[in-house]
Amino acid sequence: MNDQKRHEYALNKLGQIDSEAAKKLIDSMQDISPDLARYAIDFPFGEIFTRPGLDLKSRELINVAALTALGNAVTQLKFHINGALNVGCTRTEITETIIQMAIYSGFPSALNGMMAAKEVFKMQDSED
Please report, for the chain, the start and end positions of each structural domain, with discontinuous segments joined by +. 1-51, 55-128
What totals of helices (H) and strands (E) does the chain contain, helices first? 7, 0
**Cα-to-chain-centroid distance, residue 99:** 18
Distance between CA atoms of residues 7 and 69, nearest Å:
29
One-character DSSP codes across 19-86: TTHHHHHHHHHTTT-HHHHHHHHHHIIIIITTSTTS-HHHHHHHHHHHHHHH-S-HHHHHHHHHHHHH
Each residue of 17-73: pLDDT tens digit? 998 887 888 899 999 999 999 999 999 999 999 999 999 999 999 999 999 999 999
pTM: 0.91
**Mean of the pLDDT values across residues 82-103?**
97
Domain 55-128 has CATH 1.10.3260.10: no
Write the CA distances from 118 to 3, 27, 113, 115, integer angstroms. 38, 26, 9, 5
- Residue 94 class from Cβ within 10 Å (0-12 exposed, 13-18 middle, 19+ buried)? buried
* 4 pLDDT more than 90: no
- Stated as kind and residue range, the H or E segment containing 100 is helix 91-105
